[in-house]
Amino acid sequence: MDNTMDNRGKVNDLMRSTMEKIHEMVDTNTIVGQPITTPDGVTLIPISKVSFGFGTGGGDYGKAQPHQFGGGGAAGVKIDPVAFLVIKDGVTRVLPVAAPPVTTFDRIVEMVPDVMDKVENYFDKKAKEKDPELL
């Protein structure tokens, strides 16, 4: 029984070590990258999707006393660029890296932010025409 508890501690150590290595590879700067400023004043912020997995295992082998322990751990990390946040003149846009939309519905969903901006600008313009002291 004592040997089983000892081996559980060894497996826990393997898991802890594996998770520490994943933590070193994946942090918030991996998902939302450092801002990049171009000479013309545009700021680009890369956005990525991070997927990871890990496995750890171990067990006794051999019949000799004390039992021998064998174990191992593995991890994998996949980073996919998703988009860039583009900031220019105080306006933020999302520039997707993915393939262009295929269906009509995808195209409509992609156009919604631009349409909303145009509608907002239209109403702002009309309000300013009625009362020039606004904005």
Q: Tell me the per-residue pLDDT of 47-78, one tens digit each, with 9 for 90 and over.
A: 988 887 877 777 777 776 666 777 887 777 78
Give the 3-state secondary structure of residue 102: coil
| pLDDT for 118 | 85
DSSP for 43-80 reads EEEEEEEEEEEEEEEEEEE-SSSSPEEEEEEEEEEEEE
Q: What percent of the chain has pLDDT over 70?
A: 82
Residues 54, 73, single domain; the answer is yes
Residues 93, 51, single domain; the answer is yes
Residues 75, 127, single domain; the answer is no
Residues 104, 90, single domain; the answer is no
Residues 53, 13, single domain; the answer is yes
Confidence of residue 4 (pLDDT cuts 50, 70, 90): low
- Angle at the Cα of 92 (from 123 to 31), degrees rounded to 5? 145
Residues 94, 128, single domain; the answer is no
| pLDDT for 90 | 85
Q: What percent of the chain has pLDDT over 90?
A: 9
Structural domains in the chain (count): 2
Residues 14, 79, single domain; the answer is yes
Tokens matching residue 95: 């520039």
| pLDDT for 42 | 92
Question: Tokens 């004043």 — which residue?
Answer: 41
